[in-house]
Amino acid sequence: MAPSKNKTLLKNITSLGLVQVVNYIFPLITIPYVSRIIGPEGFGEINYITAFVSYFILLISYGFDFTATRKIAVDPDNLEMRSKVFSEVTSARILLFIISMAAFMICIGVLPLLKGNLMLSSILFLNVISVLLTPQYVFQGLQKLPILSLVTILKGIINTSLIFLFVTKKDDLLLYAGIGVFSNFLISLISILYVLFVIKIKFSFYSIKHSLNILNEVRLVFFSSIVFSLYTTTNIIVLGLFSEAKTIGYYTTAVSFIMIVQGVVNIPLSSSLYPYIGRAFSESQENGIIKLRKIAPIIFYFTAAVCLGILILAPFVIFLIYGKSFEGSIITVQILSFLPLISAMSNLMGIQTMLNLNMDNLFLKITSIAACFSIALNLLLCHYFSYIGTTISYLFTELLICFSFYVVLRKKGLFLFEKDNFKFNNVMLRIKNLKNI
């Protein structure tokens, strides 16, 4: 790969890293303040409803951040193609938004939890509008992500300022949720205006029939995203069947902390590498595998070091960030401490390799089987061990998926992890020459 393209990759990783730092570090500034105001019960309520609303967010996202990114990355200089992909995705998402609104109104009428927290549920549901508007796949496909980092910084500053100014007592839970929704909408609006007026992408509305065809084409990736939610989001829903709000608060706080770490560490790498690796695979399968073999050891050692830090520092970090009332979250953080490493390896084998090689059906089969197993295991363990059982179920499912990806790729003769590449001296040498990978 040319040096200029390597520099673009590094710039995108840095930009997405900054995005994740803003997305997670700014909340870490406000959480020590907010957690001591609303407590575990408040976090339990807002996180439970957020988990429910996330199903609608998944529906509107529909996996386009992967599929649309892949289409644009193949020919990023083709303005007509960019506009076509953008128009198709936006038209399809509008259709899904209408369906989501109708389904949400029905759910409010039949589910006591949503009906009893009508205002909070309605506010949090508005986050789906941000998903509808967000054209992140355009930035990823064009590998132009610095602008996204700038508007995200703006979002973080506004969100943090408003929280410290207006959230002062336990009854401000609705206001706290509303500030988050407003901030998400703001960044989405700025992003789509940039796409339309700076990148000069043109929007054309497609028919319902055409949108349905687009949705059908990428359904496997969408189903895969739903499958992942069955052992993440659904864990919270299942936990709510057996536990009170405070217990849900312990579990969701711990998982949120792990996701913060995972987001800062893994998401920038994944989002930036996907079009980079996708282009390498478009040249040849061998070229894509060679790139992954060089990158895998660096990601492995980096995330492993982070995970070890989580395991050791969990009690200190939980008390520092959330307060002593969240002591129950410590054990969950420690159990899940190596989740970022497991997820990073799964991403390399699943997202970066299997999807780029069009193994969508096999990818879906593995994750579907694991997710179904996860639901059964979670119901059993949660019944007897409450949120600790849910935590164990979550970790075991991630391990099962990671191991399954590894076995399947080896059977197909695809070896991403070579022993010599993982020797410490070789890894250090590659880090020094990262621009030439």
The identity of residue 23, as a single letter, is: N
Are residues 141 and 232 both part of a single domain? no
Residues 382 and 272 in one domain: yes
Q: How far apart are CA 188 and CA 174, in angstroms?
A: 21
Distance, in Å, from the CA atom of 390 to the CA atom of 378, rounded to the nearest integer, reads 5
Report the C-alpha gap between 87 and 268 in whole angstroms.
26
Q: CA 345, 349, 352: angle at the middle one, nearest 5?
A: 105
Query: Distance between CA 198 and CA 134 in Å, rounded?
Result: 15
Residues 153 and 138: their CA atoms lie apart, in Å, by 19
Report the candidate in 336, 320, 318 with the shortest Cα–Cα distance to residue 328. Answer: 318
Are residues 296 and 403 located together in one domain of the fold? yes
Burial grade of 432 (CB within 10 A; 0-12, 13-18, 19 or more): exposed
Question: Would you state the torsion angle of the CA atoms of residues 4, 355, 351, 141, taken in this order, to the nearest 10 degrees?
Answer: 40
DSSP state, 203?
-
Instruction: Kindly tell me the number of DSSP H helices and DSSP E strands found in the chain.
Output: 19, 0
How many domains does the chain contain in total? Answer: 2
Residues 187, 269: one domain? no
Q: Among 190, 216, 242, which residue terminates a domain?
A: 216
- DSSP output for 376-420: HHHHHHHHHHHHHHHHHHHHHHHHHHHHHHHHHHHHTT-----GG
Residue type, 196: L
Query: Of the candidates 197, 216, 235, which is a domain's last residue?
Result: 216
List phi, psi (to 5°) of 248: -60, -40
Residues 175, 54 contacting (CB under 8 angstroms): no
Same domain, 113 and 224: no
* DSSP SS3 for 323: coil
- Rounded to 10 deg, the angle between the 79-110 and 118-125 helix axes is 170
Residue numbers of the domain that contains 258: 218-437
Spatial neighbors of 64 by CB under 8 A, at least 6 apart, are: 89, 92, 93, 137, 218
pLDDT at 1: 47
Please check whether residues 49 and 141 belong to one and the same domain.
yes
DSSP state of 328: G
Residues 154 and 90 in one domain: yes
User: What is the pTM assigned to this prediction?
Assistant: 0.75
Contacts of 205 (CB under 8 A, 6+ apart): 87, 91
Residues 158 and 227 placed together within one structural domain of the fold:
no
The verdict on 252 and 147 lying in the same domain is no
Could you say which DSSP state residue 205 is in? P
Q: What are the phi and psi torsion angles at 266 (to 5°)?
A: -95, -40
- Same domain, yes or no, for 190 and 334? no
Instruction: Please give the chain's pLDDT, 437 residues, in tens.
Output: 455 555 665 666 666 666 666 666 787 788 889 888 988 888 888 988 998 899 899 999 998 888 888 888 888 888 888 899 999 999 999 999 999 999 999 988 887 777 888 999 999 999 999 999 988 888 878 877 677 777 778 888 888 999 999 999 888 999 999 999 998 898 898 889 988 998 889 999 999 999 999 999 888 778 766 777 767 788 888 888 788 888 999 999 999 889 888 877 766 666 556 566 767 777 777 787 887 887 788 888 888 999 999 999 999 999 988 888 999 999 999 999 999 999 989 988 987 788 778 887 888 889 889 988 988 999 999 989 999 999 999 999 999 999 999 999 999 888 888 777 777 777 777 666 655 55
User: How many degrees, rounded to 5, is the angle at CA 150 between CA 296 and CA 268?
Assistant: 10
Cα separation, 345 vs 295, in Å, equals 11
Cα-based distances in Å from 151 to 147, 148, 162, 163: 7, 5, 17, 18
Calculate helix-pair angle for 424-432, 285-321, nearest 10 degrees.
100
DSSP 287-299: HHHHHHHHHHHHH
Among 216, 247, 280, the domain-final residue is 216
Residue whose C-alpha is closest to residue 280's, from 3, 82, 422, 74 = 74
